[in-house]
Every structure is written in C-alpha cells, then in structure tokens.
Amino acid sequence: MKAKLISFVISQTAKVKKGKVEQIPTVKSAPHYFETTMPPQFLVKESKIKIEGQEGELAIKSYEPDLLVAEVTMNLENTFSDDIIPLREKVIDYCHDVLKKQGGKNVDEMSEEYSVFGISDYEGEPEQFFKHQSTIASLLKSEKIPLDDKEIEYTMSSQLKYAKDDLVIVDWDGAFIFDQQGEFDPTIELFQLANLQLLRYRILDRELDERLHRVASLIEQSPDKTRSLFQAKEVNQALKETILVRSGSIYEFQSLERDIKLIGDWYWARLYELISKKFKIDDWRKSVKEKLDALEEVYTIASQNFTVSWERRSHIIEMVGWYGLLIGWWSLMILETLRYLKGD
C-alpha cells in the first residue's frame, strides 16, 4: 500500500499568474465535453520542498481571473498514525505562507483549505481499511479528540464508489481517495473546483454585504431633510458604484452557475453533488442570490429617495429665486417712490 497527503489552499490574488495549462485526463466515464468545460487550471511553478525534514512537492497553480492555489504533496509511511494531523497542519501553514509570498490577498481570513489522503497499490476492495474508520473520520475532520460512534458512522456514510476497487469519502475539511492505480489528479481537480466555487461565493457574499450596508445607510435619511450638495454627490456616486457592483456580481454569479451545470453527468456530477452538499454550496448560492435581489430593492429605494430629495431641492431653489425677484421688485418700487418724493 502507498499513501499520499495532498493539501491545498486557495486565495485571491491581485494579479493572476499564468503558466502552462494543466491537462488532466479523465479516467472514469465522463461526457466528451468534460475536459473543455472545466475552468482551465494553469501550472505556475513546481519545486521540491522540505517540511519538518520531510520531503515533498509544491505546485503553484492559478485560475482566471484572480485565484491562486498552493498545493503540497507528501508521501506517507503510515496514514493511520497520530502524527498525520500535526503534519497536515504544518503543510497547510506552509501553503498559507506560499500564497502570501505570491501576492495572495487576505489569505488568513478569505481562503479555502482542503486535504486529500490518497491510498493506492493495495489488493482487494477499499472497505478493508474500514477497520481504521475512527482514524479516517478524525483525519477528515482534523479532529484530535476521540469521536462518538454516531459521528464516525455519519462521516463514513458520505462516500461514492465507481468500481469495486475504488472509493471516495468526502467531508468538510478533507477527503479519502482509494484508487488502486493512484489516479488521484482528476478527483483532486474537482475538489479544487468545488473549493474555488465556495471561495467565490464567500467573496461575493461579503462584497454584497458591504455594498448593502453602504447603500442602506442612504435611505435612512428622510427625503424631507435637506441634503447638502456634497451629500447629493455622495449619493450619486454610491448609486453608480452599486450599479457596477451588482452588474459584476451578476456576471460572476452566472459564471459560477455555468461551471456547475457544465460538470456533466455520470460519476463526476454525482461526486460534485456529494462535495457540494458537504460544502453547503447551495446555501451560499441562495445567500448570494437573495443579496443580489436585496441590492436591487435597496438601489430602487435609494434612487427614489434621491430623486425626491433632488426635486425638493430644485423646488426650494426655485422658491428662493422667486422670493429674491419679489424682494428685488419691491426694493425697486420703494426706491422709485423715495426718489419721486424727493423730487417733489
């Protein structure tokens, strides 16, 4: 038996770095358009590394338009030992450091991390390893304390088989891939795509939150209150920014939806469905959709308030002008009267 730990962290970057396009062949049944519809992954750099004296491989990858991936692969002597969780934590920390050095944005707070344990070169069916199910569940959850039997059973139930000799077990923090041939790359790419989509939804959700708070503050002002010209300009600028943010967010949302729909049928669609349930991607998708709708409503209200306020301001200016003319007319009448009296 051979075992590998593949850990990766994904974050935003100010400027995406490109390299050669990763061509990952599909080894299971998939639609003919599967490889062409998956978002292209660029290999930026590969290098040998050492973590705690143990050799490994680092791959820096990127996705357009602004996502960077740090991926570390290490061979494991004993997958089911107590030393694996601390090793995983050190590998993840290493990936975080790499992304920061490569220009990652807000890596500590706005990133996604994941670990995959790949088991290969074994004989028989993967269920033979279920004698280590308590350790498998703990590794998937990165949990050092003993888990309850029901939690172990629940964790192990989230699995998918394609052939008799392979198996994938999926959880929030990690996954186990059992494949006799060691063909892990296509499955890992799907895990990275799911993490990419989760991160994009999180980023969208936060940006929409910030925009909602800003625009909502505008409509807290009563339209009956007189606003200064400076405030009018601020309102106008905020509404313009809202249009741009919402348009960009809708485009990003539709792109994510397109990527999901084009994953296709058969094994990969079933595996993605399993992953997305664990990642609660549908909940994030609904949250973003609701905030896009809310942003449209807030924009409409703010626009109406601004229009009413501007109309009222115009009316006040018109009235002031009218009174100014009236006062001027009376002043002229008084001056003419005084001059007439002096003339007499």
pLDDT above 80: residue 214 = no
Q: Tokens 């350790």 belong to which residue?
A: 135
DSSP H or E run through 27: none
- Please give the pLDDT value at position 290: 85
Q: Is 101 exposed, middle or buried (0-12, 13-18, 19+ CB in 10 A)?
A: exposed
- Please give the pLDDT value at position 269: 79
Summarised one tens digit per residue, pLDDT across range 25-67 is: 555 555 554 455 567 888 999 999 999 889 999 999 998 888 9
Percentage with pLDDT > 90 across the chain:
44
- Which residues neighbour 16 within 8 Å (Cβ) at sequence distance 6 or greater? 42, 62, 63, 64, 65, 66, 67, 68
Confidence of residue 148 (pLDDT cuts 50, 70, 90): very high
- Please give the pLDDT value at position 226: 45
Residue 277 CA, distance from chain mean position: 16
pLDDT above 50: residue 107 = yes
Summarised one tens digit per residue, pLDDT across range 298-325 is: 666 666 655 545 455 555 566 656 555 6
Q: Report the distance separating Cα 255 and Cα 248, nearest Å.
A: 11
* Range of weakest confidence among 58-62, 131-135, 258-262: 258-262
What letter represents residue 201's amino acid?
Y
- Please give the pLDDT value at position 210: 80
* Range of weakest confidence among 30-34, 189-193, 246-250: 30-34
Q: Report the distance separating Cα 82 and Cα 250, nearest Å.
A: 46
- Residue count of the chain, please give it: 344
Q: How far apart are the first and last CA of the chain?
A: 124
Say if residues 188 and 156 touch (Cβ distance below 8 Å): no
- Please give the pLDDT value at position 184: 94
Question: Mean pLDDT in the chain?
Answer: 80
- Please give the pLDDT value at position 76: 95
Q: Report the distance separating Cα 167 and Cα 72, nearest Å.
A: 22
- CB atoms < 10 A from the CB of 52, how many? 12
The whole model's pTM is what?
0.78
